[in-house]
Amino acid sequence: MFLTWVEEKQEDVILVATANNIATLPPELLSRLSVAFWVDLPDSIQRLEIIKIHVKKAMARSNWGKSLKISDLFSDEKLAEVVSKTREFSGRELEAAVKDALARAWAKKHSKLMLDDLLDAVGAISPTAKVKKAELDVLREKAKNQGMKPASIVHAEPEAAPQAQGSRRINTGGGAPIQPGTGS
């Protein structure tokens, strides 16, 4: 019934849905969608922002962090070190690392969240993208073959991703600075 409605609808309708595994979706559904997007893992710029969001949230909930700003805890260079060690992390895994780091800091009776707490928490996580690399590669290929558009310009084909003017660069400490569009 749903497929018939999608095919025969009289007016434009925006339907938003998500799936963790597009391989499980029936092809007759996918063929009726006028556009579909592929949301890949966050790149370095996105990971930095996700980490900042979760550190800010965590500090707001903690007694010892309410008066601190993220810049009081970590320099950009220190955050870049964390970003460089989270290459295959999902947003959920980044959030879990921050929560784990807070628990570690509290258990060690630190007066604030320390870089070592965050790095230890990151090191304790095996990202799903690494554990299930083959499955993720298959999903990426399937999305590409089905003509799904990247949801973020940084994940677009290189020629389709124009260089943003005044874009930020992150120095990960171990190599060349990262720019948006590199997918690193």
pLDDT band at 139 (very low <50, low <70, confident <90, very high): confident
Domain spans of the chain, in order of start? 2-40+147-160, 44-129
Q: Please state, in angstroms and rounded to a whole number, the distance separating the CA atoms of residues 71 and 46.
A: 18
pTM, full prediction: 0.72
Say which CATH architecture domain 44-129 belongs to.
Answer: Orthogonal Bundle (1.10)
The full DSSP string for 5-41 is HHHH-SS--------S-GGGS-HHHHTT-S--EE---
Q: Please state, in angstroms and rounded to a whole number, the distance separating the CA atoms of residues 111 and 72.
A: 12
Kindly report, residue by residue over 148-179, the tens digit of the pLDDT: 888 876 655 443 333 433 444 444 444 334 44
Q: Please state, in angstroms and rounded to a whole number, the distance separating the CA atoms of residues 121 and 44.
A: 18
